[in-house]
Structure 1
Amino acid sequence: MGSADTFRPEPGRIPAGHTARHEPGSLLDVLSVAAVVLDQDGRIVLWSPQAEELFGWTPAEALGSFAARLLVAEEDFETVLAEFARVVSEGGGWAGVFPARHKNGGSRLIELRTMRLEDEDGRLYALGMSTDQAVLRDVERDLALSLRLVAQSPIGLAVLDTELRYVLVNPALERINDLPAERHLGRPVRDALPFADTEQIESAMRRVMETGIPLLDEFSVGRPVGSGVGPDRALLVSYYRLEDAGGRPLGLATSVVDVTDRHRAAAEARRRLSLVADASVLIGTTLDLDQTARELAEVVVPDLADVAAVDVLDTVLGGTRSGSVPGGQAAVFRALAVAASDTAEAAEAVRAADPPGQIAKYDADRLVTQCVSTGRPVHIAHVTAADLPRIARDEAAVRLLADAGLHSYMAVPLIARGEVLGALDLKRIGNPAPFGEDDVVLAGELAARAAVCIDNARWYQRERATALTLQRDLLPHRPPQLAGLDIAYRYQPAGLANNVGGDWFDAIPQPGGKSALVVGDVMGSGINAAAAMGQLRTAARTLTGLGIDPAQVLRHLDDTASGLDQMIATCVYAVYDPERGRACVANAGHLPPVVLRPGHRPELVELPTGAPLGVGGIPFESVSVDLAPGDQLILYTDGLVETRDQAIDSRLEALLALLDGPPREPEATCDLLLKDLPEGNDDDVALLIARVRAEPDPVSEPPNPSPASPDSPAP
């Protein structure tokens, strides 16, 4: 061991598959560990290049010198010699921080490790390994910081070798993967994570290993790989290639951030926005009160609640503004709608709700009463047995809700234009999560949107009822028997309040056995149109008593309409003379009547169109139509045939085609036309059919015509 050759690797000692090469940039290069060998007399026999770098002495200056005299300060000389003698004679070693002399005359603290060596001839040596203490402390501090960060980081961290086998896993990743570290270490990804998409993961890892380009924040959603069960977790996964100071790949690091809470919060926010958007589209599609309430209940089930009920205060349906229920008083509700999720438990809970249309009185201590009394939401996150009597309508309903598993409840007021209309009642049964404050805010927003629609619907419903009542009162109750004619008629109001009002029909006896048949349509809708219709009908009945030509009647009606405020109406007016078997017809901008003759195809009466009533100054013309026994004259308003997407000529052809066929009674013809022709219920329909009887009635003088009694016509 007297020469440096003794410490060179011998041939055959290098592990198979490896070659002897210098790999710069390793930790040893960073530490620059100096190696010095002393013989048993304390002389330096080996001096490494790192020793020269650390102490400043060249090999020529150091070799053969006593190490103590070269490297030790005078005050430490005796202590070092004694320690050296102990190491050489007894074995063992020494470790610590030692102030060593430098060639430049100064000293530096070195981290020193010594140990005894023995060669094959039994000669003893001392090996000293040393490095600059400051450099070593920096490395130790960085390593300690790294280990502490890895161990305590909330981010899952792992290190894999170049073969993609786990060599380090921190506790956070153990929790995320639901696998202990020993199930990771030493295993490749495909073995450690059997439930994951390992092919995709390894492909991404290899790409990072090959290119050195990190892959950052790859989003994935899945279940913990350890058990493969439990709720899905949302993860952000990143991969980085690890390199030494020389750029040589050492392996791969991966970081996994559990963003499940953030992902769920974002998903919940998207769900709430979607629910609000759906409510904007789905609630208030009509002005029907019950339909609007059903739309609200169906929107919130099952996304917000398992069972939803919409109840309004019975007083608000009277059409007056009632204000909220005074505190301490009972409230009377009318149930409008109930909806439930598709589960047996929810169906059981629905049995505890008031069925739509039912009126129920709730005492002041009931939660729904408190809701409408205060105008504030009532929220019970966790329902107890003591809460159920304040929720349910009676003891039987308490048992039903308990059996169904009601565990969370809230009621939010329906407030529109400062008035409390009722409440939206929400229950959770199958959904295990209790209602939270965010749910209360969401329900309040949905209720506020729906309340305006409900308020609009109830006012329109009231207006429709008023307009319809006025319309029916102004139409004939039951036209009198007319000489030589069988009469059938129908009036079908529009489905919406603002479309009711302008159509009318009339059948009026005249002197000499004649009969006047009238169908008209005031342009516009609502109460104003109904009132204008009543004025025109009264004028028409008055003019009929004069026995004048239909064209003259329309001229007088045109003058009457011109005197009304911006009123336009269409009208067809016919006078039937049973002695001549002829009808004289005039038209004011109305659709032509249909003549239905037995054994012939139906045909439209060819009439001059004429201008609508109210235009003023336009002449009208009468046309005669022969009518034989069995012939029918059909008068109607545009609501029977007009649609938004078809030409009127096509619709008139459809009318004629429907009338073509075997003879029917006038009543049956009315039913057929109303059943098959109108598409939707967007406009009023007035229909009048007159059939010529085979045997004419004896001529009699009718009483002076006057408006019929205010009653609804037969359906």
Structure 2
Amino acid sequence: MRERLSSEPGTLLEHGSVAVLGIDERDRICFWGPGAQDLFGYDEAALTEPVGLLFDEHEPGPGPPGTAAGRYLADQGRTLGYWRGRLPVRHRDGSVFDCGFRAFTITGADGSTVVMALASRSAELDRVKTNLAFVDALFDACPIGLVQLDQDLRYTHLNQVLADMDGITVEEHIGRRMPDVMAPRDPAGLERLLRGVAEHGRSVVGHLVPVRHAEGERIRSLSLFPLSRAIGTRPGIGGVVIDVTDREAAILEAAESRARLELLDRATARIGTTLDVKVTAGELVEAAVPDFADAAVVELVDWMGEPEIFDPAMPLITQRIASGTVLPPPAEELVGGVDTVQYPPGSSIHRMLSTGRPIAVPVDSDFLRSTVLREDRTRVLLESGLTGLLIAPLIARGTVQGLTMFGRSDARPHFTEQDLRLAAELSARAALCLDNARLYTRVQDIALTLQRALLPASLANSPHVEIAHRYVPGSHASLVGGDWYDAISVRGGRVALVVGDVMGHGVPAAAAMGRLRITARTLARSGPEPSALLAELDISAREAGIELATCLYIDYDPGTGRARIASAGHPPLLVRSPDGRVETVCDTPGVPLGVGGHPYHTTEITLPDGAVLALYTDGLVETRDRGIDEGVAAAAAVLGSATDGLEETADRLLFQLLHGPPGDDTVLLLARVRHRRSP
């Protein structure tokens, strides 16, 4: 008996038996071939039996009346030469089912004929037909690329969609290898991928392959699987090919958009943490490098005292105040090797400022010729590795503050429209912060000028009073305050020492301080009682709207060695005797100036010859972790142990009591008094 014909697992004919039988001229079974026993249930004993054995003879056949089904099958094969149709058959177990037949005649050498019949269950044939029809429809109508490769990775079957995708006909594919037709960026990698599927049965799903195409680089998604193999056949590959260029571009754009938003969020939180122009510019550079660019610089326009109006016909001079790069030398020399930059009319900088919008420019001969004046800078720029620049204006409140430049090398993509928008956001944020810092600095300069003008340029010169004085601003954010001091020559050879503190900082505090100092100096020259002077200062403070100020006033007479003292809410006076003892005077001061309604009192003491007086403001003795009483005691201890001159003692007091920048303005006035000897 011949080998049974059947399909390998996984094919369309899986589990389907095909019976082969022969019918001689007497309508008897003369050949019982593969699959017949599985289909009809009879073994080789069916040979020589009438073919009617396989049919229900009680059921009429499709032929003329009285013609049995078996005879009808044989007659059709003999008379037509080839016939196909369906007939009901009877299994050995008595069950009846439809069966599809193919019948044809074979003529032997002796002239005898045999009708050969092929038979299979109708249900299985219908399933095979349906599956084959589905496969045909899939290849014809499927909107994605389908492909079949042989064991040599050559095209054996594909649909029109894939042919259109590759730009050549279906016929031009057949027999060619996939890496040769698809033109991938990495042909060897695609070859290894296909071999792994064909030889090791490793299926691949959604593998992305960049390919070169007439329209530019495209992205293909490959899903590949090994084809099942019938007996004696060689392996092959089936696959699905999808062009996902647009999808991948959308995914990349979405990822880049998220990255840009995250960068903008980080930059917004980072830029403008201080009111320092250089710190703010440095924060912009740190926010951009390396997340957004390989290098960045920030430059402020030097208006040279002219109105802050950009004129495209005039050269532009800038000061580079911040820079940074992650590129190797000489990039660092490029961004940080210059402080002042001049751009000629017609430069890329002028073009950008004329529109007020960021621009992206390549580092090419046109840019170098129009924008870079110095040959040495041109050489460094060409050697730096930067191939593209994004230049953005720093404009706030209608004023051009300066510009920022971001640079990228070939290792990064070129700047896009989305990058230009991000740069505009970054620059707008930085420009506002820079303008705030610039305005603050300008106000500070005005306030400092005012304060320097209001503080005494020189103190009273007396042979009987030696003076050392210090003024320490509280912090960078409050360079200007209301602390003040003075030494005034008073009628009769006396000397007045005064220290005051107006609550607050900035121009208002400085102005209030100046008003009180000038008033005190004017009143002191006539030699009033200290309590009366403070009363007048209190009235002046209330008239000026000064809500709170403290003051300590001393009138010293060298002829008698006596001092009259009055305090308006101020820390107590410290007096060091020549023997090193330190006393506090006016440790229960009156109310501050500006409160009103309370009298001030004068305290009179005799100062020993050579005594040292320490007048100060609360910034010297009061801190967050130290109360004012503890601070006064510490100051007294340092003063009592000092044996040097006044200048050294002043420095020691500041060093011992101020650990780092003070939280408040600090004034210290030391005075060594001498008695006037009678002639």
Q: TM-score under structure 2 normalisation?
A: 0.72
Deviation of the 1:127 alpha carbon: 5.0
Is the alpha carbon distance of 1:177 and 1:597 closer, same or farther for their aligned partners in structure 2, counting shifts above 3 Å? farther
Partner of residue 376 from structure 1, selected from 344, 357, 363: 357
Q: SS state of the match for residue 454, structure 1?
A: helix
Matched AA of 2:129:
R
Q: Distance in 2 between matches of 1:683 and 1:618?
A: 27
Partner of residue 379 from structure 2, selected from 382, 399, 411: 399
Q: Distance in 1 between matches of 2:12 and 2:641?
A: 104
Is the alpha carbon distance of 1:143 and 1:153 closer, same or farther for their aligned partners in structure 2, counting shifts above 3 Å? closer
The answer for unaligned runs of 5 or more in structure 1 is 10-22, 85-97, 155-169, 194-215, 225-232, 243-252, 701-715
Is the alpha carbon distance of 1:643 and 1:147 closer, same or farther for their aligned partners in structure 2, counting shifts above 3 Å? farther
Q: Decide whether the 8 Å contact of 2:60 with 2:69 is kept in 1.
A: no
Matched AA of 1:38:
G
* Counterpart in the other structure of 2:169: none
Q: Distance in 2 between matches of 1:41 and 1:629?
A: 158
* Counterpart in the other structure of 1:128: 118
The alignment status of 1:424 with 2:419, answered yes or no, reads no
Deviation of the 1:260 alpha carbon: 7.2
Q: Distance in 2 between matches of 1:371 and 1:8?
A: 84
Q: SS state of the match for residue 259, structure 2?
A: helix
Deviation of the 1:520 alpha carbon: 0.9
Partner of residue 152 from structure 1, selected from 145, 153, 173: 145
The alignment status of 1:332 with 2:320, answered yes or no, reads no
Q: Distance in 1 between matches of 2:592 and 2:459?
A: 25
Superposition pairs of residues 479-628 of structure 1, within 5 angstroms: 479-496=459-476, 500-597=480-577, 600=580, 604-628=584-608
Q: Decide whether the 8 Å contact of 1:502 with 1:521 is kept in 2.
A: yes
* Counterpart in the other structure of 2:194: 181
Deviation of the 1:614 alpha carbon: 0.3
Which structure's relative contact order is higher, taking Cα pairs within 8 Å and 6+ residues apart? 1
Q: SS state of the match for residue 56, structure 2?
A: helix
Superposition pairs of residues 636-655 of structure 1, within 5 angstroms: 636-644=616-624, 646-652=626-632, 655=635
Q: Distance in 1 between matches of 2:617 and 2:284?
A: 36
Q: SS state of the match for residue 502, structure 1?
A: strand
Deviation of the 1:291 alpha carbon: 2.2
* Counterpart in the other structure of 1:462: 442
Is the alpha carbon distance of 1:223 and 1:136 closer, same or farther for their aligned partners in structure 2, counting shifts above 3 Å? closer
Matched AA of 1:180:
L
The alignment status of 1:347 with 2:332, answered yes or no, reads yes
* Counterpart in the other structure of 2:23: 39
Q: SS state of the match for residue 344, structure 1?
A: coil
The alignment status of 1:692 with 2:657, answered yes or no, reads no
Is the alpha carbon distance of 1:551 and 1:109 closer, same or farther for their aligned partners in structure 2, counting shifts above 3 Å? farther
Is the alpha carbon distance of 1:489 and 1:76 closer, same or farther for their aligned partners in structure 2, counting shifts above 3 Å? farther
Q: Decide whether the 8 Å contact of 2:569 with 2:590 is kept in 1.
A: yes
The alignment status of 1:279 with 2:267, answered yes or no, reads yes
The answer for unaligned runs of 5 or more in structure 2 is 42-51, 90-97, 148-177, 211-218, 229-238
Residue deviations 1:368-425, cap 9 Å, x none? Answer: 1222232121211x32233223342422111110111220012100111222221112
Residue deviations 1:612-650, cap 9 Å, x none? Answer: 100001222333455334432222223334444654445
Matched AA of 1:332:
I
Deviation of the 1:267 alpha carbon: 4.9
Matched AA of 2:372:
A
Q: Decide whether the 8 Å contact of 2:559 with 2:677 is kept in 1.
A: no
Q: Decide whether the 8 Å contact of 2:146 with 2:241 is kept in 1.
A: no
Partner of residue 309 from structure 1, selected from 285, 297, 304: 297
Is the alpha carbon distance of 1:431 and 1:559 closer, same or farther for their aligned partners in structure 2, counting shifts above 3 Å? farther
* Counterpart in the other structure of 1:137: 129
Matched AA of 1:411:
I
Deviation of the 1:458 alpha carbon: 1.0
Q: Distance in 2 between matches of 1:625 and 1:342?
A: 72
Matched AA of 2:564:
C
* Counterpart in the other structure of 1:295: 283
Is the alpha carbon distance of 1:175 and 1:453 closer, same or farther for their aligned partners in structure 2, counting shifts above 3 Å? same
Q: SS state of the match for residue 427, structure 1?
A: strand
Deviation of the 1:453 alpha carbon: 0.8
Deviation of the 1:682 alpha carbon: 5.6
Q: Distance in 2 between matches of 1:42 and 1:618?
A: 147
Is the alpha carbon distance of 1:134 and 1:391 closer, same or farther for their aligned partners in structure 2, counting shifts above 3 Å? farther
Is the alpha carbon distance of 1:613 and 1:460 closer, same or farther for their aligned partners in structure 2, counting shifts above 3 Å? same
Q: Decide whether the 8 Å contact of 1:327 with 1:374 is kept in 2.
A: no
Query: Could you say what the CA RMSD is over the residues aligned between the two structures, in angstroms?
Result: 5.0
Q: Distance in 2 between matches of 1:223 and 1:642?
A: 71
Q: Decide whether the 8 Å contact of 1:306 with 1:426 is kept in 2.
A: yes
Q: Distance in 2 between matches of 1:238 and 1:66?
A: 50
Q: Distance in 2 between matches of 1:496 and 1:42?
A: 121
Q: SS state of the match for residue 337, structure 1?
A: strand
Aligned residues: 587
Q: Distance in 1 between matches of 2:410 and 2:663?
A: 41
Q: Distance in 2 between matches of 1:113 and 1:661?
A: 130
Q: Distance in 1 between matches of 2:343 and 2:548?
A: 51
Q: TM-score under structure 1 normalisation?
A: 0.69
Is the alpha carbon distance of 1:29 and 1:588 closer, same or farther for their aligned partners in structure 2, counting shifts above 3 Å? same
Q: Decide whether the 8 Å contact of 1:348 with 1:401 is kept in 2.
A: no
Q: Decide whether the 8 Å contact of 2:448 with 2:479 is kept in 1.
A: no
Q: Decide whether the 8 Å contact of 2:534 with 2:566 is kept in 1.
A: yes
Is the alpha carbon distance of 1:7 and 1:505 closer, same or farther for their aligned partners in structure 2, counting shifts above 3 Å? closer
Partner of residue 308 from structure 2, selected from 300, 304, 322: 322
Q: SS state of the match for residue 644, structure 2?
A: coil
